[in-house]
Amino acid sequence: MTEGLRPSDPARIGGHRLLARLGAGGMGVVYLGRARSGELAAVKVILPEYADRPEFRARFRREVAAARRVASPWAVPVTGADPDAPAPWLATAFVPGPSLAEAVAARGPLPPRAVRVLGRMLARALTAVHDAGLVHRDVKPGNVLLALDGPRLIDFGIARAADETALTSAGVVVGTPGFLAPEQARARPATPAGDVFSLGCLLSYAATGRPPFGTGAVDALLYRTVHDAPDLDGLPDGLREPLERCLAKDPADRPTAREVDAALGGDTPCDTADWLPDDVVRLVADRSAAILALPDIEATALDAPTDGPPPDVAGDTDQAPRPGGRRRFLLLGGAALLAAGGGAAFWASGRDDDPGPAARRWLLGVQADLTGPQKAVGQAQERGVRLAVEQFNARRDKPFTLTLAVADDGGDETRAVRAARSLAADRDLLAVIGSTGDRTTGASLAPYDAQLVPQLTASSAQSVYGVAQPRHFLQAVPGYMVSPALIALRLAEAGAKRAGVLIDRDGGIASWQLGHTTFQSLGAARLRAEPRVVPRLARDLAPVVGEMLARKPDGFVYTGTPARAAAVARALAARRFTGVRVLGYPAAGREFLAAAGPAAEGWQVFAPYIDPSAARVRGFAAAYRGRYGSPPPYWAAEAYDVARMVIDRVAGAGARPSRTRLYDLLAKRPYKGLVRSYAFDEHQQLKGYDLFRYEVADGRYAYAGEASF
């Protein structure tokens, strides 16, 4: 993926004519550049604010030295660098293919043979890294690029000499959660054995389409990496045993990278695309075609207009290419690519047959759990979005007619990936609202992100999804870490001095984030907290409740599931506890009321969904009742709000917006909805504390209004 140069970008760096942006991070920008030789390069340039720091420049100098020490055909080579330049830069050979993460997101798990070849080549790359006395420390799918003749390991930004122990602050976790080793999760020094563990995680991901320690919040990933067995279900025959050895908790039990190469067996084809499935070959070809299609080089801030060529380009080696020049150069590579496999013939088809905006549909997608464990929420959201679309289409002044596409993922991660791929593949799709739950939302991020589809969830509230930062995702619901501050405030207002916090791991990431943050918020409010964590397999929570009550709390918070919340409520009632009781909202619902019975009375909930009786959504409630013949359930108004926000941005764009343009309009412009105002921070999360309080009375959740500080 590339984007055009900005006016503030340099025109040249270190003899490279810059053609486009490949990406940007917090510390620098990576450009696509053309050297005087005509070769393409990925040129990493450090931002001035970091270049001025001696310690950062020293770190960058180590990165350059580390990358130059690795000699392997499967590691991207350094083609030039100047860590002492005013703007330090590092150039490596450009690989036009996708990352492994992008390929798996786009097409799913790789075939067994492809995984074996991938593993052997990366094992050889790591062998070269380790033979050079280095540890990579961040082997992950995003740091592996796929080329027709094999993979390339990239990014030696945090690589270190194996005997360097003082370069990282104590207690700092280095690497990518979900792909780093248990010892790295414990902030211990990285070793070559840690790279082997990461390789095992990466190959498991390539073979199954999911990380072996799941996805979710960083702390949950680190915990599972240290304590839980990896999820290797679905690994093909012959891969499970070598990967189990790679994923041993004890570094001493893992093979070396050289031993992994031998254990995987099979052939390792060179200079051929035979190792990759056809759809990945097409993806490589598509990326290469995108480079071919780059527009002519435009002037940037550092391009001074002259009457003739600049002094350093009097010849023909480094001037801006004549019309068609770059294309002729790239077609030399294209000829080899076309000869490598039939999949690359995709280059020649379908590039110029766009019928134009007038002939395209204006399509809005909904991905939801309509038949699974969260079907009540999913169905409410689908109806809310549908109502918004129908109201828009009923307008006489509508600039276009909006079509709704609905995908049911059933609350299942595998189905969620398939649903996301299916919706994202439709070129007319503008944006998608969904999914319903945390796991299905996390699973669907990569397929949508690979196609640049703006994805907005109205109900999934976890703080982190997976191991990569999605570029086109917005969390249009307050996160799990918002309500704990209001819970602590409520306990303090009620006069509580000591609160028990029961975190039930059966509730997954939501339970942990709510409970852990509540514990921290209680401390900030100067309340004594007594936390307990119960495992997922615990059957009887009454003894834990009894132990917690022995500490004489006057407040109690439970985060977990509705069924086990009911058991906790009954245990508290049996011991005549009368203090303030608060339920993490994922544990609330009809199931809790039915199972707890009278013991549910008095429990309070702070939730992101508004009650349909609230004055601000009465118009919506009346329209919903008129359309569907029943009052709206929880979560319908929130989905209706988010759909109206998307429709407003599309209709107000002036012309059909690209997906990237639409995402920018959504992310950067606040929107005033019925339920709340929607404005997003730099982490793509909703700003503000718009939550609503409920208290169980007479067997139902009585709406107590908006919760606020």
Quickly state the pLDDT bin for 160 (edges 50, 70, 90).
low
For residue 93, which amino acid is it?
Answer: A
Instruction: Say if CB 639 and CB 458 are below 8 A apart.
Output: yes
Residue 473 sits in the same domain as residue 487: no
Tell me the mean pLDDT in the region 536-548.
91
Residue 27 sits in the same domain as residue 117: yes
- Is there a domain that residue 684 lies in? no
| Of the candidates 251, 142, 284, the residue with the CA atom closest to the CA atom of residue 206 | 142
* Residue 386, helix vs strand vs coil: helix
Burial bucket for residue 516 (CB in 10 Å: 0-12, 13-18, 19+): buried
DSSP one-letter code for 5 = P
Residue 33 sits in the same domain as residue 182: yes
Structure tokens at 554: 């006057």
Q: How far apart are the first and last CA of the chain?
A: 44
Look at the chain and count its residues: 709
DSSP one-letter code for 444 = H
The pLDDT > 70 percentage for the chain reads 85
CA distances from 675 to 496, 608, 617, 618, 678 (A): 31, 9, 7, 11, 9
Residue 393 sits in the same domain as residue 413: yes
Residue 624 sits in the same domain as residue 539: no
Domain boundary among 264, 298, 318: 264
52, 82, 131, 138: the active-site residue: 138
Tell me the mean pLDDT in the region 172-192.
83
Structure tokens at 637: 């108004």
Domain boundary among 234, 264, 294: 264
> Residue holding tokens 């070269």?
128
- Is there a domain that residue 17 lies in? yes
Domain boundary among 233, 264, 295: 264
Residue 416 has pLDDT above 80, yes or no: yes
Tell me the mean pLDDT in the region 652-659.
92
At 585, which CATH number? 3.40.50.2300
The pLDDT score that the predictor gives to residue 262 is 94
Residue, of 501 and 305, whose pLDDT is higher: 501
At 82, which CATH number? 1.10.510.10
Residue 620 sits in the same domain as residue 514: no
0.85 exceeded by the pTM?
A: no
Is 267 in the active site? no
In this predicted structure, which of 55-69, 471-485, 570-584, 680-694 has the lowest mean pLDDT?
55-69
Question: Cα–Cα distance between 329 and 36 in angstroms, integer?
Answer: 13
Partners of 363 in the β-ladder: 403, 429
Strand 604-607, strand 580-584: pairing: parallel
Residue 113 sits in the same domain as residue 212: yes
Structure tokens at 366: 């909904």
Residue 166 sits in the same domain as residue 60: yes
Q: What is the pLDDT of residues 87-137, one digit of tens each?
A: 889 898 898 888 999 899 888 899 999 999 999 999 999 999 999 888 888
Quickly state the pLDDT bin for 569 (edges 50, 70, 90).
very high
The residue range of the domain holding 513 is 483-607+693-707
The pLDDT score that the predictor gives to residue 402 is 97
Question: Cα–Cα distance between 226 and 224 in angstroms, integer?
Answer: 5
Q: What's the structural domain count of the chain?
A: 3
Residue 519 sits in the same domain as residue 471: no
- Is there a domain that residue 99 lies in? yes
CA distances from 180 to 183, 191, 192 (A): 8, 11, 12
Residue, of 584 and 76, whose pLDDT is higher: 584
Strand 362-368, strand 160-161: pairing: unpaired
Residue, of 336 and 521, whose pLDDT is higher: 521
- Is there a domain that residue 289 lies in? no
Tell me the mean pLDDT in the region 466-471.
66
Report the mean per-residue pLDDT for the chain: 85
Residue 603 sits in the same domain as residue 457: no
Residue 573 sits in the same domain as residue 621: no
| Of the candidates 40, 44, 30, the residue with the CA atom closest to the CA atom of residue 326 | 40
CA 89 to chain centre: 28
Handedness of CA 581, 587, 588, 590 (dihedral sign): negative
Residue 38 has pLDDT above 60, yes or no: yes
Residue 74 sits in the same domain as residue 191: yes
